[in-house]
Structure 1
Amino acid sequence: MIAAQESMTAKLCSFARAYHSMLGKNKIFDDYLAYDIIGKDVYDEIGSLLKGQVEAAGQLPRYGFESLLVFEEMDHYFSPIALSRIAFAERALDRFARNRASCQYVICGAGMDTFAFRNTDEAVQVFELDHPDTQAYKLRRIHELRWEVPPNAHYAAIDFEQDDLGRTLLHSGFHTSEPSFFSLLGVSYYLTAEAFREFVRSVSILVSPGSQFVLDFPDESTFEPDSTSRVRRLAQITEQLGEPMRHGFSLAEMREILASEGFVIRNHESPADIQRHFFADRTDHQQAMENVHFILAEKRRQ
């Protein structure tokens, strides 16, 4: 991420959720607060960035862009990942929370996530972790909207490459004995294998047995010369935005890292699985990314 600036990919993902919520059919995931949290100005700015031009007609409609004017690369590159991974994560969280009197949900790299305001279960303590610049931007937006922060929502700024995850969470009210559900969505792309292993180790130290961890990750084909043009183009876009992808993980490597830190994989969704579960029979041409996988892992019981 560019220093002293909120994450552009966080805004892009929120734009994708907002656009899909307002104009998408057969919704994969309905983040009905996504448009509000980024606001009309940023929505239009992101739309113009993707489109490459501002609407020439003068007066913008309520949501900034007519559906036919939205740059087609949105559905081609960003929406499939942004929508399916949050649907996968929140379904898993719902199953986890439903079977427990209380739990903690830790959103790592929260970006413009709106779960804390959509959540109706007061027994779920929500911890949002993000880079100081991105989190400060989000909190300003919440203040501008005059949203009341729920008492079970906690915000902690962290630089994942420099700050200690455990110390940050414990200072925010996290309890190591409570059942916990961690999400790491859209973050592993920008970590080296060593940094990712260190992150998993930090989570493992913090959580009690039976706690779960959901993430998406790019596989080893991401940086191969014969990777699809869509995969290469997405990597180019994020690099141009100041957030270059660092590593592609093989499933064997991911399994080894998780197992070495006490986690067992409970569910692995391959690109083919994601296509079948989230994109079958769609008419908007959205398709699962060829190199992106989802994993739900659980801390082993002693």
Structure 2
Amino acid sequence: MGTVGAVAGTAVGPMTIVAIEQYEATPLVRNQLARSFLPATARTLASFGRFGWARRLFFTATERKLPGLWASILCRKRHLDDDIVTAIESGCTSVVVLGAGLDDRVCRIPALATTAVFEVDLPCNITTKYRRLHALCGDVPANLTLVPINLATEDLSRVLARHGYDAGQSTYFLCEGVTQYLSAEDIRRTLDALASAPAGSRLGFTYILDEFVTGEALHGGHRAHREYVATGKLWRSGMNPERVRSLLVERGWRIREDVGAQEHTERYLTPNYRGLRATAIERTVTAEKTS
């Protein structure tokens, strides 16, 4: 999973963006818990979001690294929030969050209140999550199980089973902002573990285009490529829509949507009237198990 310590720290940035977004008049993602889940320094920074000049400063710094990153993070979260709710309403009875990081959906989405949720992440991130939940709620929610794992070295199915996950239950598998940190083999192994999910299960994940990771097309993200790929070597894998379709179809999944900047702009950004743009390098996929 790359340099474990470096990868473990990548959860803070996206949640900080969500926390700052709450100070907008019409936030793309409504999440009043976001700031509370951040570590102390990031919480303090996010609190400056109440000032318009600070929001503009944070936004500009993010856009200089990768144009459209700010909006794309918000759009993918909104998209996956909506998809999870739809899946629960359609009969999914459990949720597995792969690379959960600071994800707080179990605490803020009412549809998950009576759903078994398993949050899977590196042991250091699980420890941080445990402490944060105790500080905020006094305990881990009764329907949440925290599952420490390194997807690059451990078997996902076996680890989930040890923590009480029932593989026979119709499940929503969420993997947001994670695949780029895995090797191509790690991605295949993870999808292999999900291949035995019962029909009707759902899958939602994001991926970075292969053309960005290889440097073929940077879409204005030269700084991001240098930080995450060339120098930091954090982003290990990219994919393209054809490869994604092949990986899923081979394992009995039917793609419901594979959307990017254009669709997110039409669905979320244009109606919001904020003039934001999404990056072309990241796409969001939702799928359903058919066999």
Q: What is residue 90 of structure 2 aligned with on the other side?
A: 99
Unaligned runs of at least 5 residues, structure 2:
none
Is the contact between residue 186 and residue 216 of structure 1 (CA under 8 Å) also seen in structure 2? yes
Q: What is residue 53 of structure 2 aligned with on the other side?
A: 68
Distance 1:84 1:15, change over 3 A: same
Distance 1:143 1:257, change over 3 A: same
State how far apart, in whole Å, the 1-side matches of 2:98 and 2:48 are: 30
Equivalent AA in structure 2 for residue 68 of structure 1: W
Equivalent AA in structure 1 for residue 35 of structure 2: Y
Q: What is residue 19 of structure 1 aligned with on the other side?
A: 20
Greater mean alpha carbon deviation, residues 291-300 or residues 2-11: 2-11
State how far apart, in whole Å, the 1-side matches of 2:227 and 2:123 are: 23
1:149-298 map, 5 Å: 149-205=140-196, 207-222=197-212, 223-230=214-221, 232-239=222-229, 242=232, 244-280=234-270, 282=272, 284-298=274-288
Q: What is residue 9 of structure 2 aligned with on the other side?
A: 8
Deviation string 1:142-194 (CA, Å, 9 cap, x unpaired) is 22334432211111001010111001111122111111000111011112222
State how far apart, in whole Å, the 1-side matches of 2:5 and 2:135 are: 20
How big is the shift at 1:277?
1.2
State how far apart, in whole Å, the 2-side matches of 1:133 and 1:266 are: 34
State how far apart, in whole Å, the 2-side matches of 1:190 and 1:225 are: 19
Is the contact between residue 182 and residue 237 of structure 2 (CA under 8 Å) also seen in structure 1? yes
How big is the shift at 1:4?
4.7
Alignment of 1:36 with 2:26, yes or no, is no
Equivalent AA in structure 2 for residue 14 of structure 1: M
Greater mean alpha carbon deviation, residues 143-152 or residues 28-37: 143-152
TM superposition score normalised by structure 2? 0.87
How big is the shift at 1:8?
2.3
State how far apart, in whole Å, the 1-side matches of 2:118 and 2:252 are: 22
State how far apart, in whole Å, the 1-side matches of 2:122 and 2:70 are: 23
Aligned length: 281
Is the contact between residue 219 and residue 281 of structure 2 (CA under 8 Å) also seen in structure 1? no
How big is the shift at 1:77?
5.2
Equivalent AA in structure 1 for residue 17 of structure 2: A
Equivalent AA in structure 2 for residue 13 of structure 1: P
Alignment of 1:124 with 2:112, yes or no, is no
Equivalent AA in structure 2 for residue 288 of structure 1: A
How big is the shift at 1:3?
4.0
How big is the shift at 1:81?
2.7
How big is the shift at 1:240?
8.7
Distance 1:226 1:176, change over 3 A: closer
How big is the shift at 1:282?
4.8
1:78-117 map, 5 Å: 78-100=69-91, 103-117=93-107
Distance 1:32 1:236, change over 3 A: farther
Equivalent AA in structure 2 for residue 33 of structure 1: L
How big is the shift at 1:250?
1.5
Deviation string 1:70-117 (CA, Å, 9 cap, x unpaired) is 3223364542232111211121111111132x6101110111011111
Is the contact between residue 6 and residue 134 of structure 1 (CA under 8 Å) also seen in structure 2? no
TM superposition score normalised by structure 1? 0.84
Structure having the higher helix fraction is: 2
How big is the shift at 1:9?
1.6
State how far apart, in whole Å, the 2-side matches of 1:242 and 1:43 are: 25
Distance 1:225 1:6, change over 3 A: closer
Secondary structure, counterpart of 1:215 in structure 2 = strand
Distance 1:210 1:275, change over 3 A: same
Identity in percent: 20
How big is the shift at 1:29?
0.9
Unaligned runs of at least 5 residues, structure 1:
48-62
How big is the shift at 1:239?
4.9
Greater mean alpha carbon deviation, residues 236-245 or residues 112-121: 236-245
State how far apart, in whole Å, the 1-side matches of 2:9 and 2:288 are: 31
